[in-house]
């Protein structure tokens, strides 16, 4: 699709502004990260609907809770790890338990805040959010989706966690042929030999891996599951029945994220071998993004090798 | 309701909560007793709420940030007609709408689920900000415990309320000087509480939290004054009304035995629901 590259965090803030023009009820909160998360754009466009609470994430989420009950649709934004942990109890006890109409944007996800190092890299937020009852979890995979996710989340009832990368990404497909619907996965290829299921920005690498495999006449079913909860089980089972061997891809711990979600369904309904491409239960590190992705086994090459491994076993 | 009737209502709250906790086998008696007058005055004379229309858009908001005082809140909501009084003795039972801590989806009149401490002031800020955008002229009241003020989030909220200029926010602190493990002085002293909060930019008032007259006066004043968010430090006694409970930390959440129940009942008087 298009070659235009843009940081995902910037695109989501542009989407907030665009939707903010359509819907006067949306408000945005940030906790002194708006120059990083780019929510400052919303603050510039709608100063009376933007609340920067300073470095107080727990406060921010509980304020968002109150705003949602006053009839607003709040988007509370911070770094992914802070929403999952620093504000974790507030997300749990009020937003999730209360099924409140609060939308959370966890920015700088995965290893995308590469130079800052482990303290800032959210490598478990997908697992944490997925384990919360009533929480919907969406990991944006590419630019097409990011421009649609704000509106989709605002119109979806209840708590939604939107995971957003610091990194640049491009549009991977055409929204006209692949509309974004929360809970609905997108099948990009339908080959027979191996399945690749991805969520988040690693989808770009998954796409490259699929192309490399196809160049060797290996048939690939390529599925994008932006919504990790609720998982599109039907699409997943279809993929498993067809290929009988899967690789899951995510920039999150292999414990509790997409790999967990996929294997939970398959172990019960259609057991097939599944190899996880993800962060192997370790914290992040400092370096360039490309170096970290290589070191943590999150590249197209790693996905391809995992596919070969599955094919050997068949 | 006049002053005498309000005092009777507060006593009725204590009698009922005692009975509820006895039947339930557990419940937070000490902290429910200490805010009896506060809840009676708020719900009978201050809050603009309608039990027949719990969601009316211009209502005043009350948030029980110290969610463990749920039995007291349940009593006053039932008294006002938000739900049937007969449900009160189902506190903490399986299938009851009356959980140990308030569930907003189960109990009409509960604005937001609480129980995990320190969140109510922030919630109140959210309501105020939303009301301001919607041009709704309500007042938002939050009742906190004093032990609860150990939670850092409270101080995050103290700063934020001032930044956003929320003069329709009134926080009451049930200053009963006792928390779960001991007195507040033993566990985590917070000297100069009024001065600290004033230093954040709040308008702070002190009153006798068991004097209906004092509460009426200070709440009326707080609602009317403009400019800053308001905090009322209500000096109270944990377990007020039962001599062997007053000021005793064990009565934060300890279940009654039969002898204690009978002694407490004797002191408070017979209950007629």
Q: What is the mean pLDDT of each run of 10 residues along chain A (314 residues)?
A: 86 97 98 97 98 98 98 98 98 98 98 97 97 98 93 97 96 84 96 98 97 98 98 98 98 98 98 98 97 98 98 94
Q: Are B213 and B188 in contact (CB under 8 A)?
A: no
Q: What is the pTM of this model?
A: 0.97
B142 inside 8 A of chain A by CB? no
Q: Are A286 and A293 in contact (CB under 8 A)?
A: no
Mean pLDDT for chain A overall: 97
- With a cut of 70, which residues of chain B have pLDDT below it? 272-273
What is the rounded CA–CA span in Å between residue A214 and residue A294? Answer: 22
pLDDT value of residue A174: 83
Look at residue A2 in the predicted model and tell me its pLDDT.
63
What are the distances in angstroms from CA B120 to CA A54, A124, B12, B106, B145?
A: 18, 28, 26, 19, 11
First-to-last C-alpha distance (Å) of chain A: 33
Interchain proximity B157–A27, CB inside 8 Å: no
Calculate helix-pair angle for B152-163, A57-69, nearest 10 degrees: 60
d(CA A304, CA A213): 7
Structure tokens at B123: 């919630």
pLDDT at A172 (0 to 100): 87
Mark yes or no for CB contact B134/A56 under 8 Å: no
Residues of B in contact with A94 (CB under 8 A): 112-114, 116, 119, 123
Q: Closest to A62 (Cβ–Cβ): which among B123, B134, B152?
A: B123
Pairing mode, strands A6-7 and A168-169: antiparallel
Number of H helices, E strands in chain A: 13, 14
Q: Which of B104, B115, B107 is nearest to B90 (CA)?
A: B107
Distances in Å between the Cα of A108 and the Cα atoms of A82, A123, B207, B224 are 10, 10, 48, 45
Site from A47, A48, A50, A62 to mutate, B interface, most B CB atoms within 10 angstroms? A62
Edge-to-edge strand list for the sheet holding B140-145: B61-64, B140-145, B169-175, B230-235, B203-208
Q: What is the pLDDT of residues A207-216, one digit of tens each?
A: 999 999 999 9
Q: What are the CA-CA distances from residue B237 to residues A16, B10, B176, B201, B204 (Å)?
A: 49, 14, 5, 27, 20
Between CA A271 and CA A273 the distance in angstroms is: 7
- Per-residue model confidence (pLDDT) at position B272: 67
The CA distance from A18 to the nearest CA of chain B, in Å, is 19
Decide if B156 touches A, using CB distance below 8 A: yes
Closest Cα in chain A, distance from residue B130 (Å): 5
ipTM: 0.97
In chain B, the residue whose alpha carbon lies closest to the alpha carbon of A102 is B126
> In this structure, is the dihedral angle defined by the CA atoms of residues B147, B148, B151 and B152, taken in order, positive or negative?
negative
**Rounded CA gap, B181 and B253, in Å?**
10
Asked if B29 contacts B21 with a C-beta cutoff of 8 angstroms, the reply is yes
Among A41, A80, A66, which Cα is nearest to B164's? Answer: A66
pLDDT value, residue A266: 98
Count, in order, helices (H) and strands (E) of chain B.
Answer: 10, 5
Tell me which DSSP letter residue A31 carries: S
C-alpha A30/C-alpha A37 separation (Å) is 8
| Contact between B164 and A59 using a beta-carbon 8 Å cutoff | no
Q: Quick one: pLDDT at residue A256?
A: 97
pLDDT at A3 (0 to 100): 78
Is B153 in Cβ contact with A62 (below 8 Å)?
yes
pLDDT at A189: 96
Report residue B222 as tokens.
């707080």
């Amino acid at each position: 699709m298009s070659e235009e590259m843009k940081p995902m965090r910037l695109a989501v803030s542009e989407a907030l502004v665009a939707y903010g023009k359509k819907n006067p009820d949306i408000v945005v909160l940030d906790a002194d990260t708006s120059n990083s998360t780019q929510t400052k754009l919303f603050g510039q466009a709608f100063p009376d609907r933007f609340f920067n609470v300073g470095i107080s994430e727990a406060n921010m989420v509980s304020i968002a809770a109150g705003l949602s009950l006053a009839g607003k649709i709040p988007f509370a934004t911070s770094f992914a790890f802070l929403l999952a942990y620093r504000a974790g109890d507030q997300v749990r006890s009020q937003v999730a338990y209360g099924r409140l109409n609060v939308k959370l944007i966890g920015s700088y996800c995965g290893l995308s805040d590469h130079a800052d190092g482990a303290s800032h890299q959210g490598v478990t937020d997908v697992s944490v959010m997925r384990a919360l009852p009533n929480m919907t979890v969406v990991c944006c995979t590419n630019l097409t989706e990011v421009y649609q996710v704000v509106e989709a989340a605002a119109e979806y009832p209840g708590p939604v966690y939107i995971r957003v990368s610091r990194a640049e990404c491009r549009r991977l497909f055409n929204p006209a042929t692949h509309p974004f619907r929360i809970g609905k996965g997108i099948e990009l290829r339908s080959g027979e030999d191996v399945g690749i299921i991805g969520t988040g920005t690693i989808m770009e690498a998954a796409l490259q891996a699929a192309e490399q495999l196809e160049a060797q006449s290996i048939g690939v079913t390529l599925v994008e599951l932006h919504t990790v909860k609720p998982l599109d089980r039907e699409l997943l089972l279809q993929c498993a029945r067809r290929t009988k061997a899967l690789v899951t891809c995510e920039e999150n711990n292999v414990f509790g994220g997409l790999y967990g979600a996929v294997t939970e369904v398959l172990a019960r309904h259609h057991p097939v071998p599944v190899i996880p491409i993800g962060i192997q239960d370790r914290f992040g590190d400092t370096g360039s993004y490309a170096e970290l992705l290589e070191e943590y086994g999150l590249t197209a090459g790693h996905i391809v090798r995992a596919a070969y491994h599955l094919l050997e076993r068949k | 309701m006049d002053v005498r009737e309000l005092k009777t209502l507060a006593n009725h709250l204590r009698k009922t909560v005692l009975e509820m906790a006895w039947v339930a086998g557990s419940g937070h008696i000490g902290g429910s007793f200490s805010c009896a007058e506060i809840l009676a005055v708020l719900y009978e004379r201050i809050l603009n709420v309608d039990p027949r229309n719990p969601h009316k858009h211009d209502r005043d908001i009350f948030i029980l940030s110290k969610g463990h005082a749920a039995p007291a809140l349940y009593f006053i909501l039932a008294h006002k007609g938000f739900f049937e009084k007969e449900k009160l003795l189902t506190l903490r039972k399986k299938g009851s709408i009356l959980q140990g801590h308030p569930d907003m989806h189960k109990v009409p009149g509960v604005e937001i689920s609480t129980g995990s401490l320190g969140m109510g002031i922030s919630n109140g800020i959210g309501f105020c900000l939303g009301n301001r955008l919607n041009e709704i002229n309500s007042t938002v009241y939050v009742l906190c415990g004093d032990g609860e003020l150990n939670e850092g989030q409270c101080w995050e909220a103290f700063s934020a309320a001032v930044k956003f200029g929320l003069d329709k926010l009134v926080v009451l602190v049930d200053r009963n000087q006792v928390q779960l493990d001991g007195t507040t002085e033993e566990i985590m002293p917070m000297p100069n509480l009024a001065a600290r909060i004033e230093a954040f930019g709040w308008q702070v008032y002190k009153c006798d939290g068991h004097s209906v007259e004092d509460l009426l006066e200070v709440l009326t004043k707080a609602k009317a004054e403009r400019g800053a968010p308001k905090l009322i430090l209500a000096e109270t006694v944990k377990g007020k009304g039962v001599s062997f409970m007053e000021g005793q930390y064990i009565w934060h959440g300890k279940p009654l035995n039969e002898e204690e129940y009978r002694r407490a009942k004797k002191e408070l008087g017979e209950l007629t629901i």
